[in-house]
């Protein structure tokens, strides 16, 4: 199944999964106009898109067991291989019809004293590691209530003045624009700085199709965490009628992984006897252990080493999570086995110190599976020629 055009971060948008779930439900039940709700939506891992490759996904619907309410469990997964990765999961079904009258747009704008140019918004996002192409830069006007953690934005799929010809994935691109408003609302709050991605939607109700122009109203939930924040979002038409509601949208700060190459760290001067002199020894030891082994045995050695590092990073938390290294499924993403953003960051630093290199910012580390991260470390760090890697990076 194809998907909408993607941002230049080369990641399939979270709203694309919501669109796929809604379309799958409509196709299965013939409910193309009735209100639809999605609940307990979790974004398990990102679908990273290679420029020269076509990526396929499929949506599975499974009866939720509640025959009277018509809800289904849905899973969006890859379409290749015997054990394709899961990207998104949740529930989808009919929603009760509700009064769609909302707050008048004039009242909302009057409550937002600060106007922010969309170019500045996308500049901030770029600085934080999220760059959007023309198809996904859909916010045309933006107002803020910084003290109240609110934002209001006018959103269209086509730029002002351009022909508003509808395209196949307008739903995903315009709803993604509404999520961009959270970055503006959160910029001066607890979530200042860093890259934040949606990881969960508690509930979304789609009351009807989105019009050519919509308005997004974002309100942040109170909180003091620098690693995560939660927002509520309402989508309105030009008359103030409610088109969609999104509740309990959770965003988390992500750590970084991998550019095309890992970069050897510049070692600092160390005093004799300093324990940090052991930095990098693990890389030499691992290289010596795996060089003579077949490929699959090499990978398993690094998976075992990485699992031990995860347990050491978690410390006492590993017991609380009933974390058993012998039963760990290496295909699971780090978030799936219980690590949060802070522990992932600690793991990243630990790996960098032990293997004496640094990750280049590109992909989200917590969304990597144990085996994917082990494979990366094996090929790009443990067995890599440091001089060759540095030269390749300089020439790129």
| Token pair recorded at residue 293 | 């082994």
Share of the chain above pLDDT 70, in %: 72
Answer yes or no: do 371 and 288 share one domain. Answer: yes
* Chain mean position to CA 150: 22
Instruction: Quote the pLDDT of residue 158.
Output: 78
Give the number of other Cβ atoms within 10 Å of residue 315's Cβ.
11
In angstroms, rounded to a whole number, what is the distance separating the alpha carbons of residues 330 and 317?
A: 19
Instruction: Quote the pLDDT of residue 8.
Output: 37
pLDDT digit string, tens, across residues 80-111? 767 788 889 999 999 988 777 878 899 999 99
**pTM: predicted TM-score of the whole model, two decimal places:** 0.63
Instruction: Determine whether 220 is exposed, middle or buried from the number of CB atoms within 10 Å of its CB (0-12, 13-18, 19+).
Output: buried
Q: Is residue 5 a part of any domain in this protein?
A: no
End position of a domain, from candidates 222, 253, 284: 253
More confident residue, 196 or 381: 381
CA atoms within 13 A on the CB side of 2: 4
Asked if 374 and 302 touch (Cβ cutoff 8 Å), the reply is: yes
Instruction: Determine whether 217 is exposed, middle or buried from the number of CB atoms within 10 Å of its CB (0-12, 13-18, 19+).
Output: buried
Mean pLDDT of 284-303: 91
pLDDT digit string, tens, across residues 251-280? 887 754 333 334 444 433 344 444 333 445
Mean pLDDT of 213-240: 88
pLDDT digit string, tens, across residues 37-59? 999 999 988 777 655 567 788 89
Q: Is residue 7 a part of any domain in this protein?
A: no
| Alpha-carbon distances of 81 from 84, 233, 241, rounded to whole Å | 5, 37, 45
Answer yes or no: do 188 and 337 share one domain. Answer: no
Answer yes or no: do 61 and 180 share one domain. Answer: yes
Which of 120-129, 172-181, 187-196 bottoms out in mean pLDDT, i.e. has the lowest?
187-196
Instruction: Quote the pLDDT of residue 392.
Output: 29
In angstroms, rounded to a whole number, what is the distance separating the alpha carbons of residues 151 and 233?
A: 10
Mean pLDDT of 116-136: 81
* Short-list 265, 300, 277, CA closest to 375: 300
| Token pair recorded at residue 59 | 């949506």
Answer yes or no: do 232 and 288 share one domain. Answer: no
Q: Is residue 228 a part of any domain in this protein?
A: yes
- Residue 192 pLDDT > 60: no
Answer yes or no: do 230 and 272 share one domain. Answer: no
Answer yes or no: do 168 and 227 share one domain. Answer: yes
Answer yes or no: do 145 and 244 share one domain. Answer: yes
* Chain mean position to CA 29: 29
Give the torsion through C-alpha atoms of 363, 306, 57, 2, to 10 deg: 20
Mean pLDDT of 358-367: 60
Q: 310: pLDDT confidence band, cut at 50, 70 and 90?
A: confident
Mean pLDDT of 172-187: 90
Q: Is residue 206 a part of any domain in this protein?
A: yes
Instruction: Quote the pLDDT of residue 271.
Output: 41
- Residue 22 pLDDT > 90: yes
Q: 238: pLDDT confidence band, cut at 50, 70 and 90?
A: very high
Answer yes or no: do 239 and 105 share one domain. Answer: yes
Give the number of other Cβ atoms within 10 Å of residue 248's Cβ.
16
Q: Is residue 2 a part of any domain in this protein?
A: no
- Residue 395 pLDDT > 60: no
Return mean pLDDT, the chain: 78
Answer yes or no: do 141 and 56 share one domain. Answer: yes
DSSP assignments along 341-387, one per residue: HHHHHHHHHHHHHHHTEEPPSSB-GGGSBHHHHHHHHIIIIISS-HH
Count of H-run helices and E-run strands, the chain: 10, 13
Answer yes or no: do 247 and 281 share one domain. Answer: no
In angstroms, rounded to a whole number, what is the distance separating the alpha carbons of residues 169 and 377?
A: 37
- Residue 332 pLDDT > 50: yes
More confident residue, 63 or 42: 42
- Residue 396 pLDDT > 50: no
Q: For residue 85, give the DSSP letter.
A: P
User: What is the CATH classification number for the domain harbouring 71?
Assistant: 3.10.129.110
Answer yes or no: do 41 and 150 share one domain. Answer: yes
Instruction: Quote the pLDDT of residue 66.
Output: 58
Question: E strands along the chain, which residues?
Answer: 36-43, 57-63, 72-78, 86-94, 114-115, 139-145, 150-156, 196-206, 213-220, 228-236, 242-253, 263-264, 357-358
- Per the structure, the count of domains in the chain is 2
Asked if 306 and 373 touch (Cβ cutoff 8 Å), the reply is: yes
Q: Is residue 105 a part of any domain in this protein?
A: yes
Give the number of other Cβ atoms within 10 Å of residue 32's Cβ.
12
Give the number of other Cβ atoms within 10 Å of residue 372's Cβ.
19
Strand order in the sheet with 72-78: 57-63, 72-78, 86-94, 36-43, 196-206, 242-253, 228-236, 213-220, 150-156, 139-145, 114-115
Query: Can you give the residue range of the structural domain that contains 172?
Result: 14-253
SS (H, E, C) 144-189: EECCCCEEEEEEECCCCCCCCCCCCCHHHHHHHHHHHHHHHHHCCC
End position of a domain, from candidates 200, 231, 253: 253
Answer yes or no: do 205 and 340 share one domain. Answer: no
- Residue 321 pLDDT > 60: no
End position of a domain, from candidates 253, 271, 293: 253
Instruction: Quote the pLDDT of residue 308.
Output: 87
Instruction: Quote the pLDDT of residue 4.
Output: 42
Q: 155: pLDDT confidence band, cut at 50, 70 and 90?
A: very high
Instruction: Quote the pLDDT of residue 274.
Output: 41
């Amino acid at each position: 199944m194809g998907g909408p055009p993607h941002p230049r971060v080369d990641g399939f948008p979270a709203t694309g999964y919501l669109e796929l779930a809604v379309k799958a439900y409509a196709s299965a039940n013939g409910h193309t106009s009735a209100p639809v709700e999605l609940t307990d939506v979790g974004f398990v891992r990102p679908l990273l898109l290679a420029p020269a490759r076509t990526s396929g996904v499929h949506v599975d619907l499974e009866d939720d067991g509640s025959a009277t309410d018509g809800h289904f469990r849905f899973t969006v997964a890859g379409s290749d291989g015997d054990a394709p990765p899961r990207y998104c999961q949740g529930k989808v079904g009919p929603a009760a019809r509700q009064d769609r009258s909302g707050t008048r747009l004039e009242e909302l704008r009057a409550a937002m004293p600060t106007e922010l140019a969309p170019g500045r918004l996308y500049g901030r996002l770029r600085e934080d590691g999220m760059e959007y192409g023309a198809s996904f830069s859909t916010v045309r006007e933006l107002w803020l209530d910084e003290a109240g953690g609110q934002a209001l934005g006018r959103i269209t799929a086509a730029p002002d003045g351009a022909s508003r010809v509808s395209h196949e994935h307008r739903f995903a691109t315009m709803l993604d624009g509404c999520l961009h408003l959270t970055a503006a609302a959160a910029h001066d709050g607890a979530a200042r700085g860093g890259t934040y991605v949606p990881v969960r939607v508690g509930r979304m109700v789609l009351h009807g199709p989105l019009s050519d122009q919509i308005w997004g109203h974002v309100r942040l939930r109170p909180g003091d965490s620098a690693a995560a924040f939660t927002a509520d979002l309402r989508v309105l038409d030009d008359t103030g009628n409610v088109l969609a509601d999104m509740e309990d949208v959770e965003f988390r700060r992500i750590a970084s992984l991998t550019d095309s190459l890992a970069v050897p760290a510049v070692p600092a001067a160390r005093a004799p006897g300093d324990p940090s002199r052991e930095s990098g020894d693990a890389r030499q030891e691992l290289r010596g252990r795996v060089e003579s082994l077949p490929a699959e045995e090499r990978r398993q050695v690094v998976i075992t080493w990485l699992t031990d590092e995860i347990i050491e990073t978690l410390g006492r938390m590993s017991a609380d999570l009933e974390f058993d290294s012998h039963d760990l499924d290496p295909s699971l993403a780090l978030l799936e086995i219980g690590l949060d953003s802070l522990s992932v960051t600690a793991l990243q630093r630990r790996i960098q110190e032990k293997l004496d290199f640094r990750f280049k910012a590109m992909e989200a580390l917590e969304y990597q599976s144990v085996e994917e991260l082990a494979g990366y470390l094996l090929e790009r760090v443990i067995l890599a020629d440091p001089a060759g890697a540095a030269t390749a990076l300089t020439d790129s």
